């Protein structure tokens, strides 16, 4: 017999029941594994069973269904026991028995869509059928024939079986309820009674599923997945008390002695040490249990059970509660560094302290990799970036981590295994928890980090990289030791940090100022006479010119054996005037690898000290590849021709190991000259129709003396990452070398007052001296800042002018004027506006060109031209025919046919959810034609949808958009990082811009610095239910282009009189409706009010509604029998849209039926409609109702017959006990083991600490 027991506490997850909870009779169970699983046809109602996942059996383990999770354990309890309870009077179509699945505690497996996976209500229970699993081959293939000339469609697995059955019109053997990829003896599937679409033979069934893949930590789910739908069932029998006690002991220590199990838990009062008192309590309890188990002591079943009950909680209480990490200063070191080899001390640090542009969390990894930590080293400035202040958050038990040097906080990450950021402000709280697997180590986790396969993700070190990422908070890489930094040490570090911080601040300012100064210089190629070679600094590649014109002047010892040799790839192709060929340095390993930076050597006929190099990127069709293009390059020179063949050296150690020094040449006759950077501003004109932007670039440098021979060492390329086989390769299609010179005519610096340039250069010289000496002063920093700002104020950047000219020309090119058939149309321009804008742009362009023919403009000239262009653009804006105050439909003008013509709609009154803002209003002209060939038309009742109409009003800075259906305003949804739209009670200003498509506008919800500033009609590809989002860019007729379709007020009032569309929640059954405006009830409309509840029958009694249903008043609607429509028309009381007075506040309930305008979570024992809308069910934990619906509160008792009744499964007793989603933040939800959970919603059964109080969740 295999003993099986499951403790009340799961050590790995931290769930447990507290002391004093009485174990039910028969808590301990066992099964005979040797007898095998019960055959599906022998499953009996009323027999207790264990349900083992088929996936675990197939992999040689045993994971069982355990509530809403899965558990692999050597012992099980009643938490694992299930019964098949026969549904009386119901059979499947094939005559098979129909069951409910019931737990030992009386709960049922709930029907799909229920808030909780289990329910105490049989009305919510899932009706299932048990099938003998039929094996299907996941590799089975089928080719579906297509039209003549088209390749067949290939299908695999169940898709192959299904499509083959369709083509043969033979579904007899398909058996989708029983089909599975798992082939197990006595395997069974548990599915819904009918397929998802009962009359469709290829429709799948809803099944009870195993865990996905190897993710045993996942929750149980219902769905269709043929790789995880098989179960094995074993009859369960009760264990004796003494057998159960032995199982508990086995579960606790895994067969070890207790001393061996807990030997690594240090006792004491220090941080991360464990309580001696709790230790002694556990040991005493264990000795008592051991005496019972050994037979050296006797006791009653109750006494033995009491000991068994206490062991695991005592063990968990000891191992999970080390002395905490309290607010203070610490250095955190990784488990990896302490247990692995090749690491340094492994400290966590803020990378921005080293590189201000890299705002990520890192760890020090290895010695001599740039940032090192050794605990034995004296505290120094280097240590400051590794010191973290633990700061208590407002919520009890939550903490922030603030870096001592930078003041940044540990933030979050965009996804799993992506670097965790550091943030200027505290945005992400963390739990500090003892790692449940590694004694003496802490883990720092947050529910706000992207979730891993475990419950939550923690701060985790990558094994071979310095990255710190979110991953399983219990894993070894997420485990940390802490070193406490005392107050006196902090005071010392503060002093040590003062000067380095001044140095770093001045260094950053020096870099900024130098970059600004360098940006003002332009360089050119010149011929022997000093005349500018115009083609050198352009995208033109028409001739092999310059100082290097033959391949014998080039050398590169690390040419790739495949893409660096041969007619199309040898070095000579860099000088063949053919951009279709390219040269590539080695990306191969082995003998072909060059494991240091690669270089290109070139020889000149005459020594030169100033050069300009031109590089054309490797092309791929009609695009340029950047990943291998040289970017940052170092130059080396020699005048000794004998050194041209000096490259790497190879030597042999005494042990025979070969050592290659790839940089030996740097120490043998080659002078280090300077470092410079390629930029690629030029477009390559590939042919008459194709231009490839940023394909051509140049780099300029000056050597301290003339050299005949140069090497260009590529320090970084466009990819700038670790390359194949250790190579950091580069590639290109063309290369030119020219004599270089300063281009005064093209250089903006020439138009900056000379005094400002000199002042900045002098200030930089002074600052560099202090930085080099590491003695930066505040005075020098302030002085440099002052002259830098003056330099910028007088820096004449011509791009300020050319950008505005380009903008004007783009508008003038796309704009159309409101003349002829376009007269008066919104989104068109007044007559003459295009000509005026074009003339202004041409005039400024000519003026700029005239100046630049001899020099660059000065700041006054730039400012003047900018002002002229801004005035012209403002005049153009004013000439645009824009919406005036009125009612409009906002229609998509996207070139995407499925979007074009749809309008923005407010599909309900919620202010919390962005899902209410949709776009709809068109449908396929022919439902059978889809894809690129589909055509679309307006829906038949489009004008009757009040939710499509918006009252638009001009305000300062833009417009407000108020929906006539909801009475709410359109605004950006800031809770979604601004990536969606929602509704608001308060007006929100939305700007509009010409969309560069005649008749269309962009709706703008942010300024130029705002991410996702354009409203965008982006369909949701997953659900095919389009909703309105925001986007970073707007390009012509993309999904950001909208038109304003004016609505005639009289026509709109006619719509109200004829009735407006209300979309039913279901074509059949009862539904609760809460409309935002008052309606008139017509005869036989199907609306009902609630009279009350009959105490004897439990029926909810209804009477027909008459007269007016006020705005915000919940009411019952029941479609007529046989209804096939998905909407009805309702007649507003208002006959003028201006008197609609839509509300977003529910009316006070007088009959117990309560309306809601937000998705609302209910307290238990309110009333909700059943899934099939035929009954009223008492609400259970997690039940929610949608916006514009409602629920039943406490109802008045009644004996009236009424006009209609709704059967109910209980008496509704709750009065207004409602919690609105999203719930307000509290002190948090924790397991008794101290693990913080995301929220109090959908918790598995167990005991939790919620807002400081112990709560039992059933």
Low-confidence ranges of the chain (pLDDT < 50): 1-25, 1021-1024, 1217, 1219-1227, 1230-1236, 1238-1249, 1251-1258
Helix (H, G, I), strand (E, B) or coil at 781: helix
Cα–Cα dist 727/586, whole Å = 7
Contact 1226, 1237 (CB under 8 A): no
Distances (CA, A) of 37 to 185, 384, 990: 8, 62, 65
CA distance 328 to 657: 51
Residue 474, φ and ψ in degrees, nearest 5:
-95, -5
Entry field: residues in the chain = 1258
**Residues 138, 161: Cα–Cα separation, whole Å:** 10
Residue reference for tokens 């069973």? 49
Based on the number of CB atoms within 10 Å of its own CB, is 978 exposed (0-12), middle (13-18) or buried (19 or more)? middle
Neighbour-count burial for 395-407, b at 16+ CB within 10 Å, e otherwise: eebbbbbbbbbbe
What is the C-alpha to C-alpha distance for residues 1177 and 1192, in angstroms, rounded to an integer?
10
Helix H, strand E, coil C: the string for 991-1042 is: EEEECCCCCCEEEECCCCCCCCCEEECCCCCCCCCCECEEECCCCCCCCCCE
Distance CA 1212, CA 1190 (A): 14
Tokens of 44: 């009996």
**301-319 helix and 241-253 helix, angle to the nearest 10 degrees:** 10
Q: Residue 55 belongs to what H/E stretch? A: helix 54-58
Q: Which overall architecture, per CATH, does domain 888-1047 show?
A: Trefoil (2.80)
Quote the tokens at residue 1023.
């659900």
pLDDT value, residue 1216? 55
State the CATH class of domain 328-485.
mainly beta
What element of type H or E holds 738? strand 734-742
CA distance 727 to 733: 19
Coil, strand, or helix at residue 106?
Answer: coil
Nearest in space to 202 (alpha carbons), one of 233, 168, 227, 228:
168
Burial of 528 (0-12, 13-18, 19+ CB in 10 A): exposed
- CA-based diameter of the chain, in Å? 113
Q: What is the pLDDT of residue 1229?
A: 56
Rounded to 10 deg, the angle between the 301-319 and 276-294 helix axes is 150
Residue 1040 tokens, joined: 């950001």
Give backbone dihedrals phi and psi of 422, rounded to 5 degrees, phi first.
Answer: -115, 145
- DSSP SS3 for 892: strand
Q: What is the pLDDT of residue 196?
A: 93
Beta strands in 827-956 (DSSP E): 886-892, 903-906, 917-920, 922-924, 936-938, 950-955
| Phi, psi at 1128, each rounded to 5° | -130, 165
**Phi, psi for 312 (deg, rounded to 5):** -65, -45
Q: How far is it, in rounded angstroms, from Cα 316 to Cα 278?
A: 10
Distance of alpha carbon 851 from the chain centroid: 50
Instruction: Give the distance from CA 915 to its chain's centroid.
Output: 18
- Dihedral of the CA atoms 502, 508, 514, 518 (nearest 10)? 180
Specify the CATH number of the domain 799-879. Answer: 1.20.1270
Two tokens, residue 598: 């690669």
With residue 253 as reference, give the H or E element that holds it. Answer: helix 241-253
Calculate the alpha carbon distances from 774 to 97, 368, 744, 786, 842 in Å. 85, 21, 36, 21, 53
Cα-trace Rg, the chain: 38
CA dihedral 1209, 1215, 1221, 1225 (to 10 degrees): -130
Question: Which CATH fold would you assign to the domain 526-742?
Answer: Jelly Rolls (2.60.120)
* Angstrom distance (rounded) from CA 35 to CA 989: 72
Q: Pick from 28, 207, 178, 228: which is nearest to 101 by CA?
A: 207
Work out the number of other CB atoms within 10 angstroms of the CB of residue 641. 10
CB 635 within 8 A of CB 676: yes
Instruction: Report the distance separating Cα 559 and Cα 599, nearest Å.
Output: 10
Which residue's structure tokens are 């590539």?
584
Across the strands, what pairs with 509? Answer: none
Under 8 Å between Cβ of 335 and 343:
no
Distance CA 1252, CA 1082 (A): 54
DSSP 528-575: TTS-B-GGGGSS------SS--SGGGEE-TTB-TTTSSSTTTSGGGGG
Helical axes 778-793 vs 487-519, angle rounded to 10° = 30
What the block records as the tokens of 1003 is 């709706």
Query: Residues 6 or more apart from 494 whose CB is under 8 A from it?
Result: none
**Beta carbons of 98 and 129 less than 8 angstroms apart:** yes
Separation CA 940–CA 925 (nearest Å): 11
The predicted model scores a pTM of 0.75
Angle at Cα 1012 formed by Cα 1011 and Cα 1013, nearest 5°? 95
Q: How far apart are the first and last CA of the chain?
A: 31
What SS3 class is residue 878? helix
* Residue 962 three-state SS: strand
Contacts of 936 (CB under 8 A, 6+ apart): 897, 898, 900, 901, 922, 923, 924, 925
Q: CA-to-CA distance for 511 and 80, rounded, in angstroms?
A: 66
* Beta strands, E only, 1078-1155: 1079-1080, 1087-1093, 1100-1104, 1108-1109, 1114-1117, 1127-1132, 1153-1155
| Cβ atoms of residues 959 and 976 within 8 Å | no
Could you tell me the two tokens for 651?
């030597």
Contacts of 355 (CB under 8 A, 6+ apart): none
């Amino acid at each position: 017999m295999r003993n099986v027991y499951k403790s009340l506490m799961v050590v790995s997850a931290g769930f447990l029941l507290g002391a004093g909870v009485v174990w039910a009779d028969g808590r301990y169970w066992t099964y005979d594994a040797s007898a095998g699983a019960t055959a599906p046809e022998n499953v009996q109602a009323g027999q207790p069973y264990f349900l083992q996942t088929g996936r675990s059996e197939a992999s040689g383990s045993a994971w069982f269904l355990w509530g809403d999770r899965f558990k692999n354990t050597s012992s099980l309890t009643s938490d694992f026991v299930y019964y098949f309870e026969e549904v009386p009077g119901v059979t499947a179509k094939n005559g098979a028995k129909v069951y409910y699945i019931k737990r030992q505690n009386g709960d049922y497996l709930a029907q799909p869509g229920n808030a909780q996976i289990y329910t105490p209500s049989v009305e919510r229970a899932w009706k299932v059928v048990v099938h003998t699993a039929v094996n299907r081959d996941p590799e089975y293939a089928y080719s579906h024939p297509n039209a003549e000339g088209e390749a067949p469609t290939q299908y695999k697995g169940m898709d192959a079986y299904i499509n083959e059955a369709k083509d043969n019109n033979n579904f007899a053997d398909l058996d989708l309820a029983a089909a599975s990829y798992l082939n197990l003896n006595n395997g069974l599937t548990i599915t819904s009674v009918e397929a998802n679409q009962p009359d469709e033979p290829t429709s799948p069934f809803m099944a009870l599923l195993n865990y996905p893949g190897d993710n045993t930590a996942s929750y149980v789910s219902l769905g269709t997945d043929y790789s995880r739908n098989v179960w094995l069932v074993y009859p369960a029998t009760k264990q004796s008390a003494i057998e159960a006690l032995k199982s508990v002991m086995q579960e606790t220590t895994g067969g070890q002695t207790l001393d061996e199990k807990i030997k690594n838990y240090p006792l004491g009062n220090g941080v991360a040490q464990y309580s001696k008192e709790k230790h002694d309590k556990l040991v005493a309890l264990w000795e008592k249990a051991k005496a019972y188990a050994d037979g050296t002591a006797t006791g009653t079943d109750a006494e033995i059970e009491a000991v068994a009950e206490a062991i695991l909680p005592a063990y968990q209480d000891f191992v999970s509660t080390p002395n905490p990490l309290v607010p203070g200063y610490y250095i955190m070191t990784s488990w990896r560094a302490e247990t692995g080899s090749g690491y340094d001390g492994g400290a966590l640090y803020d990378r921005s302290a080293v590189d201000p542009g890299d705002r990520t969390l890192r760890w020090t990894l290895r010695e001599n990799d740039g940032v090192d930590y050794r605990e034995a080293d004296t505290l120094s400035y280097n240590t400051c970036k590794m010191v973290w202040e633990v700061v208590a958050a407002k919520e009890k038990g939550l903490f922030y981590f603030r870096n001592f040097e930078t003041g940044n906080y540990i933030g979050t990450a965009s996804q799993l295994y992506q670097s965790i950021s550091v943030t200027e402000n505290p945005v992400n709280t963390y739990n500090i928890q003892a790692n449940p697997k590694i004694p003496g180590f802490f883990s720092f986790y947050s529910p706000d980090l992207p979730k891993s396969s475990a419950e939550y993700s923690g701060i985790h070190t990558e094994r071979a990289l310095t990255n710190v990422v979110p991953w399983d908070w219990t894993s070894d890489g997420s485990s940390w030791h802490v070193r406490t930094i005392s107050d006196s040490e902090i005071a010392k570090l503060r002093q040590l940090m003062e000067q380095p911080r001044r140095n770093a601040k001045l260094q950053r300012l020096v870099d900024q100022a130098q970059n600004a100064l360098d940006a003002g210089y332009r360089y050119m190629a010149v011929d022997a006479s000093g005349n500018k070679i115009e083609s050198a600094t352009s995208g033109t590649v028409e001739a092999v010119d310059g100082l290097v014109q033959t391949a014998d002047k080039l050398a590169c010892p690390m040419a790739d054996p495949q893409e660096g040799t041969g007619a199309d790839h040898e070095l000579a192709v860099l000088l063949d005037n053919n951009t279709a060929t390219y040269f590539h340095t080695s990306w191969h390993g082995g003998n072909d690898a060059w494991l240091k930076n690669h270089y290109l050597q070139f020889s000149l006929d005459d020594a030169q000290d100033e050069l300009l190099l031109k590089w054309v990127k490797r092309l791929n069709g009609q695009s340029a590849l950047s990943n291998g293009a040289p970017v940052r390059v170092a130059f080396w020179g020699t005048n000794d021709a004998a050194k041209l063949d000096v490259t790497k050296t190879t030597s042999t150690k005494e042990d025979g190991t070969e050592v290659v020094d790839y940089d030996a040449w740097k120490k043998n006759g080659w002078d280090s000259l300077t470092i410079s950077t390629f930029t690629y501003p030029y477009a390559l004109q590939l042919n008459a129709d194709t231009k490839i932007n940023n394909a051509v670039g140049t780099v300029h440098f000056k050597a301290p003396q003339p050299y005949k021979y140069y090497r260009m060492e590529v320090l970084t390329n466009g990819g700038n990452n670790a390359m194949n086989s250790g190579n950091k390769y580069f590639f290109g299609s063309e290369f030119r070398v020219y004599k270089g010179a300063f281009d005064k005519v093209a250089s903006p610096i020439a138009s900056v007052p000379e005094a400002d340039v000199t002042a900045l250069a002098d200030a930089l010289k002074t600052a560099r001296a202090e930085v080099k000496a590491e003695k930066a002063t505040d005075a020098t920093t302030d002085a440099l800042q002052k002259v830098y700002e003056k330099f910028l104020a007088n820096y004449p950047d011509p791009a300020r002018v050319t950008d505005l000219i380009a903008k004007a020309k783009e508008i003038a090119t796309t704009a159309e004027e409101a003349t002829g058939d376009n007269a008066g149309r919104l989104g068109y321009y007044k007559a003459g506006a295009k000509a005026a804008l074009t003339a202004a742009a041409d005039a400024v362009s000519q003026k700029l060109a005239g100046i630049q023919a001899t020099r660059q403009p000065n700041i006054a000239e730039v400012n003047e031209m900018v002002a002229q262009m801004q005035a012209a653009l403002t005049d153009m804006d004013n000439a645009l025919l824009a919406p005036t105050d009125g009612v409009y439909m906002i229609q998509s003008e996207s070139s995407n046919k499925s979007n074009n013509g749809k309008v923005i709609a407010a599909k309900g009154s919620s202010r919390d959810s962005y899902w209410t803002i949709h776009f709809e209003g068109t449908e396929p002209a022919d439902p059978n034609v889809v894809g690129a060939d589909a055509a679309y038309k307006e829906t038949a009742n489009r004008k009757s949808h009040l939710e499509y109409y918006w009252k638009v009003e001009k305000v300062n800075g833009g417009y407000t958009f108020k929906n006539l259906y909801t009475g709410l305003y359109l605004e950006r949804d800031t809770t979604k990082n601004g990536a969606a739209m929602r509704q608001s009670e308060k007006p929100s200003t939305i700007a509009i811009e010409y969309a560069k498509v005649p008749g269309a506008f962009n709706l703008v919800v942010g300024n130029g610095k705002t991410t996702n500033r354009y409203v965008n009609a982006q369909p949701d590809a997953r659900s095919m239910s389009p909703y309105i989002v925001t986007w970073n860019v707007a390009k012509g007729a993309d999904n950001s282009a909208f038109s304003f379709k004016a609505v005639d007020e009289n026509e709109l009032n006619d719509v109200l009189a004829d009735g407006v569309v209300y979309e039913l929640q279901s074509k059949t059954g009862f539904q609760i409706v809460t409309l935002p405006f008052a309606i008139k009830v017509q005869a036989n409309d199907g609306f009902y009010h609630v009279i009350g509840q009959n105490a004897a029958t439990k029926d909810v009694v209804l009477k027909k509604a008459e007269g007016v249903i006020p705005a915000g008043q919940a009411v019952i609607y029941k479609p007529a029998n046989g209804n096939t429509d998905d909407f009805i028309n309702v007649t507003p009381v208002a006959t003028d849209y201006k008197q609609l007075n839509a509300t977003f506040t529910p009316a006070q309930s007088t009959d117990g039926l309560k309306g809601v305008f937000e998705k609302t979570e209910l307290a238990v024992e309110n009333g909700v409609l059943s899934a099939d809308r035929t009954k009223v069910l008492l609400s259970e934990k997690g039940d929610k109702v949608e916006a514009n619906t409602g629920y039943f509160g406490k109802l008045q008792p009644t004996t009236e017959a009424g006009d209609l009744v709704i059967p109910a499964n209980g008496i509704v007793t709750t009065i207004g006990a409602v919690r609105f989603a999203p719930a307000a933040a509290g002190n948090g939800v924790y397991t008794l083991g101290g693990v913080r959970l995301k929220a109090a919603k959908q918790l598995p059964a167990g005991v939790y600490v919620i807002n400081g109080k112990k709560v039992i969740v059933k």
